[in-house]
Amino acid sequence: MISNSLIKPTYSQQNHYLVKNQILLLFLFITLFEINDIKAQTPSDALMMKKSELCIALIYQNDTWDEYWEGTLLRDNQNIGVLTRNTALPMLAYGVSSKFNVIVALPYVSTEASRGQMVGASGLQDFSIFAKYLLYELKKESGSLSTFVTAGFSLPVSPYLSDYLPFSLGLGTQEFSLRGIINYEHKSGVYLRGSYAYLHRTTTEAERNYYYADGSFYTTTMDIPSASNAELALGGWLFKKAIQLEVGYVTQTSFSGDDIRRQNTGQPTNKMDIASINGRLRYFPSILKGLSIVAGYSDVLSGRNVGKSTIFSGGLTYQFMLKKS
């Protein structure tokens, strides 16, 4: 991740590191975005908007870590101290029909470290659009079973430096995703949901024409490893669906990539794996129909070439009909 040496870099070395150090935490953010800490009609949940219904969400996330995995070795870095990433995430979900929904999001991200001389970054990250379709639904007196498929695409909207770990705003790459979801909800309101996604990533451009990734590469183009994402969640609706509670376990595994070399810096080509647990709460107050308050917590249990993050999130969602059916 940045300089892993305890010796402060010179000015010229800092410029070199600025070019080298940024996608690890960003990758983590993308992971968490795919994981999703909030339930307000997301690409991985089992919620759907009705036809002509619009959901507006504004979520804030605070992500911090003071340790990271260098390969499989968990360590700290005195040139970083505590790394903080703050994200403002506006989202829209619209019901084209009761079986077909569209979701868009555009995060604003800022990063900073408590120690060292590296400067954080801030700005718009990646625009994402998802299409979710209800494939099958079986309703019985005892409960209901439903399956969904979600297809997504994202791309950078600002010229941020992707090879600037761990301060980068994003991976600086295009991403195509395909996710399958299955959900069973008992008549009591308790539900179990599982999902699996394939995330295909393309390339990013670095501001250097040489890098080492299990071999020497004389190019500015870096291949970003594609990955799989899996989630298992257990939740329930309480007090006539006034409250939604959920706990989940999420993993993400890269299909390729190299490890951060000892006393070296991280880079976009690294194999970045993660396993985390999360908890979510959504409350629908009676003061305004369609309004909900959301809160979330996520903790990274294990990983490879990623930060050991703790994430708190909170925000508001509001859904309403744009026109009568």
| Residue 117 confidence class, pLDDT cut points 50, 70, 90 | confident
Whether 76 shows a pLDDT value over 70: the answer reads: yes
| Region label for 184, one of left (φ > 0), alpha (ψ between -120 and 50) or beta (otherwise) | beta
Rounded distance, CA 165 to CA 156, Å?
17
Rounded distance, CA 43 to CA 34, Å?
8
Per cent of the chain over pLDDT 70 is 87
* 313 beta partners: 61, 296
Give me the mean pLDDT over the 233-253 stretch: 96
Give me the mean pLDDT over the 282-290 stretch: 93
- Judged by average pLDDT, the poorest of 1-5, 13-17, 117-121 is 1-5
User: Within a domain: residue 322?
Assistant: no
What length does the chain have? 325
**Secondary structure of residue 272 in the 3-state scheme:** coil
Tell me which H or E stretch contains 12. Answer: helix 11-20
Whether 29 shows a pLDDT value over 50: the answer reads: no
Higher pLDDT, residue 60 or 1? 60
Instruction: Kindly give the pairing relationship between strand 83-95 and strand 73-75.
Output: unpaired
**Secondary structure of residue 233 in the 3-state scheme:** strand
Higher pLDDT, residue 273 or 77? 273
The amino acid that residue 272 corresponds to is M
Tell me which H or E stretch contains 69. Answer: strand 68-70
Residue-level pLDDT at 201: 97
Q: What is the CATH number of the domain that holds 140?
A: 2.40.160.40
Residue-level pLDDT at 7: 30
Whether 267 shows a pLDDT value over 60: the answer reads: yes
Give me the mean pLDDT over the 211-217 stretch: 92
What residues contact residue 26 under an 8 Å CB cut-off, 6+ apart? 125, 162, 165, 166, 168, 169, 170, 171
Q: Residue 85 in contact with residue 73, Cβ under 8 Å?
A: no
Residue-level pLDDT at 69: 95
Give me the mean pLDDT over the 154-172 stretch: 91
- Judged by average pLDDT, the poorest of 85-94, 142-151, 159-168, 268-277 is 159-168
User: Within a domain: residue 114?
Assistant: yes
Closest C-alpha among 235, 201, 192, 198 to residue 43 = 198
Whether 21 shows a pLDDT value over 80: the answer reads: no
Rounded distance, CA 36 to CA 57, Å?
13
Tally Cβ neighbours within 10 Å of residue 325. Answer: 9
| Residue 325 confidence class, pLDDT cut points 50, 70, 90 | low
User: Within a domain: residue 72?
Assistant: yes
Half-sphere exposure of 293 (CA within 13 A, CB side): 6
Torsion angle in degrees (nearest 10) through CA of 214, 260, 207, 227: 80
Residue-level pLDDT at 200: 98
User: Within a domain: residue 158?
Assistant: yes
- Judged by average pLDDT, the poorest of 128-137, 208-217, 220-229 is 208-217
User: Within a domain: residue 2?
Assistant: no
User: Within a domain: residue 177?
Assistant: yes
For residue 229, what are the domain limits? Answer: 11-317
Name the domain count of the chain. Answer: 1
Closest C-alpha among 236, 238, 202 to residue 222 = 202
Whether 36 shows a pLDDT value over 60: the answer reads: no
User: Within a domain: residue 270?
Assistant: yes
* 317 beta partners: 57, 292
User: Within a domain: residue 141?
Assistant: yes
- Judged by average pLDDT, the poorest of 25-29, 141-145, 170-174, 256-260 is 25-29
Closest C-alpha among 177, 273, 267 to residue 221 = 267
Whether 16 shows a pLDDT value over 80: the answer reads: no
- Judged by average pLDDT, the poorest of 14-18, 76-80, 128-132, 199-203 is 14-18
Instruction: Kindly give the pairing relationship between strand 83-95 and strand 108-113.
Output: antiparallel
Higher pLDDT, residue 56 or 166? 56
24: tokens are 């690890």
What's the mean pLDDT when you consider all of the chain? Answer: 87
Residue bearing tokens 């005892």 = 142
